[in-house]
Amino acid sequence: MALAEQFKQLAESRWFQRFIIGAIFLSVLSIGLETLPSVSPSVARGFQFVERLLLGVFLGEMVVRIGAHGAQPWRFFANGWNALDFAVVALCFAPGMDNLAVLRLVRLLRVLRLVAPLYESELIRRKNEELAAAYHALDEEKGKSERLLLNVLPVLIAERLKGSPQVIADRYDAASVLFADIVGFSKFARATPPEQIVAMLDAVFSRFDHLAGELRLEKIKTIGDCYMVVAGVPVPRADHAEAIAHMALAMLRSLADFNRETGQSLQLRVGLHSGPVVAGVIGRKKFIYDLWGDTVNTASRMESHGVPDRVQVTEEFSRLLADKFHFEERGPTEVKGIGTLNTFFLTGEK
């Protein structure tokens, strides 16, 4: 095994490889000079002698490469080039064989063996470029998918869903929910082209999205002309009621600005309520992050039973912010599915 290791080190050494490459080029050069018309017979015989010496060099190289496999010399022939190389050199020792013809075949084979790695390297380079381009395209598609997921789900929920695709459901003891609805939108939609309706809703809701981002609130969804947002979910925060109150007042101001800029006369009803909620992801093909619970239902009723361009809240909500905001008592209000509630209008900040 020690001898095999020596053969292996010799075969892999840089000087040995350079020596063989030099012998190949010398062999190619000799056949080119030998065929020149001006070469005398004695010089031609000298070139033939050089060719036979180079055959010995190639034979020695083969012995080294076979010996590098130690007790498993047959592994040398697993490479197609090696098997062909051995067969051609063996022809030199066949009875009646023209040594010079075989030597020229050996030279051709050697040149091919030099060119083949270059060709293979070019193929590998092209394949690597194709793989790099495919990886880049895959990375871009992954980025698009992640951005799309983040447009549908909160960042924390999206990360949890990617890390462990299981049922996601969380209970929050204190959160504030807002519902807003454009007054008389159904009548407006019947008399307006669909392209104009979508463009208008996009313009209005994009303003609301910007406000929600500034106040670090979580937009839950839009249903037709209804807009839903929550504070304190999925990241709990102590100022959830205050944040949602600022959002409600800012939405009224933003819609007023939109009306002045576009000549529209849209009105908004807004409803707020605070309390415990359950939040989670539903669906398998089309994910949606949603909220459930009495707090959500009550906030929705505050909106639907509200007054245009006013923010209606429950008595519980008004007590949470009594020292920070102004409220106007509306009085007992019959609320569908809930009963009579004493409600208030949020009018501004103190």
* Domains of the chain: residue spans and CATH: 2-122 (1.20.120.350), 167-349 (3.30.70.1230)
Locate the DSSP E strands across the chain: 169-182, 218-223, 226-231, 268-282, 288-292, 310-314, 325-335, 339-349
**Torsion sign over Cα 186, 188, 190, 192:** negative
Kindly give the interhelix angle for 41-67 and 80-91, rounded to the nearest 10 degrees: 140
Which of 290, 294, 196, 210 is closest to 254 using CA atoms?
210
Query: Quick one: DSSP state of residue 284?
Result: S
Q: What string of pLDDT tens digits covers the 350 residues of the chain?
A: 577 677 677 766 777 667 766 776 666 666 666 666 666 677 667 766 776 676 777 777 777 777 777 777 777 777 766 676 677 666 666 665 555 555 556 656 655 665 556 556 666 777 877 787 777 777 777 666 666 655 666 666 666 776 666 777 889 999 999 999 999 888 888 888 888 889 999 999 999 999 999 999 999 998 888 999 999 999 999 999 999 999 999 999 999 999 999 988 899 999 999 999 999 887 766 677 889 999 999 999 999 999 999 999 999 999 999 999 999 999 898 888 889 999 999 999 98
First and final C-alpha spacing in the chain:
92
